[in-house]
């Protein structure tokens, strides 16, 4: 059964997640909170125009994953599995419950004098769903139906995937507004050290997903998490993989020393913004069709855009 174990559910709730089904959860993003108090917005608002205060961050596959990434904030020792069987959360009910959970988790904001009440009222009805909270989302067998349900509500959706299920990516219908693939290494050796895959053919699967990415009729993004002292090497190899996938955008973002990742890495592994930008410029030297489009220093992220 895919139901989250009691111990894990209690831990998730302690970390301010709201469990909304057998294997799904919602958590309020830091930038949603900041936006409600007019203290800044997520880089996704700056880069892509979404409203941070109306973004609902959720996962239909909490702690289901084929990798044990060294930089992951989640408690990977509580990984539930690599596939789902048994009772599966219904997409419509999941979104209904996600909105209810969002409202519940935001309930205390009117008591804060810094809260922008106009934004707070708008936040009661999310118009953007970031399917990116935790776990591998293509493991959820009704992902296409979930995206369709979001589209019915005239909202946008971002899906983040590790690329371990290329056939799911290839046949995903409808596609989300933005589809992200995580690319955390320039070659297989570093990939095994950073992403620590459970599948023997993981690197092959990722490369197949990169080949598929360029065929998809939606906005595509490669997300590179930069870890100082681990994967900020071989910029020419990153460029080769970017050229293979031909994404619309590439986000190069610093690893952040948060959550359970603090048990595996140190604060010295978190590069500064200028270091992320310098490495990005090294990659750009090997790319023909991309330029540095934008950046957000607070998030330590740089955006490349296809010309």
Containing H/E element for 222?
A: strand 219-226
Specify the CATH superfamily of domain 6-306: Aldolase class I (3.20.20.70)
What Rg do the C-alpha atoms of the chain give, in angstroms?
A: 18
Retrieve residue 120's tokens: 């707070």
Q: How confident is the model at residue 73 (pLDDT cuts 50, 70, 90)?
A: confident
- Domain borders along the chain are 6-306
Q: Provide the total of helices (H) and of strands (E) in the chain, helices listed first.
A: 11, 10
91/8 Cα distance (integer angstroms):
22
Q: In angstroms, rounded to a whole number, what is the distance separating the alpha carbons of residues 259 and 107?
A: 24
Q: What pTM value is reported for the model?
A: 0.95
pLDDT of res. 254:
98
Structure confidence at residue 289 (pLDDT):
94
pLDDT in tens, 239-258: 999 999 999 999 999 999 99
Could you tell me which residues come within 8 angstroms of residue 294 by beta carbon, excluding any fewer than 6 positions away? 46, 47, 302, 303, 305
pLDDT tens digit sequence for 192-239: 999 999 999 999 999 999 999 999 999 999 999 999 999 999 999 999
Q: 80: pLDDT confidence band, cut at 50, 70 and 90?
A: confident
């Amino acid at each position: 059964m895919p139901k989250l174990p009691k111990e894990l559910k209690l831990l998730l709730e302690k970390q301010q997640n709201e469990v909304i089904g057998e294997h799904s959860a919602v958590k309020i993003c830091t930038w949603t909170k900041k936006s409600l108090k007019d203290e800044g917005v997520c880089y996704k608002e700056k880069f892509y125009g979404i409203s941070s205060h109306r973004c609902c961050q959720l996962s239909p596959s909490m702690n289901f994953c084929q990798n044990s990434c060294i930089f992951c904030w989640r408690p990977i020792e509580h990984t539930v599995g690599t596939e789902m069987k048994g009772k599966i959360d219904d997409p419509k009910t999941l979104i209904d419950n996600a909105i209810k959970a969002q409202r519940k988790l935001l309930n205390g904001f009117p008591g804060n004098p810094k809260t922008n009440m106009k934004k707070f009222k708008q936040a009661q009805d999310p118009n953007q769903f970031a399917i990116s909270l935790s776990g591998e989302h293509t493991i959820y067998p009704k992902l296409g139906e979930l995206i369709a349900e979001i589209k019915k509500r005239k909202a946008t959706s971002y899906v983040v995937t590790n690329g371990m299920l290329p056939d799911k990516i290839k046949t995903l219908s409808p596609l989300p507004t933005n589809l992200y693939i995580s690319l955390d290494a320039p070659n297989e050796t570093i990939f095994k050290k950073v992403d620590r895959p459970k599948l023997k053919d993981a690197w092959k699967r990722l490369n197949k997903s990169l080949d598929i990415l360029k065929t998809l009729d939606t906005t595509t993004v490669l997300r590179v998490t930069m870890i100082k002292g681990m994967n900020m090497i071989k910029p020419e190899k990153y460029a080769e993989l970017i050229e293979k996938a031909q994404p619309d955008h590439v986000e190069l973002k610093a690893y952040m020393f948060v959550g359970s990742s603090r048990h595996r890495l140190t604060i010295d592994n978190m590069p500064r913004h200028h270091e992320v930008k310098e490495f990005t410029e090294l990659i750009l030297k090997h790319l023909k069709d991309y330029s540095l489009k934008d950046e957000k220093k607070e998030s330590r992220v740089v955006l490349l855009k296809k010309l």
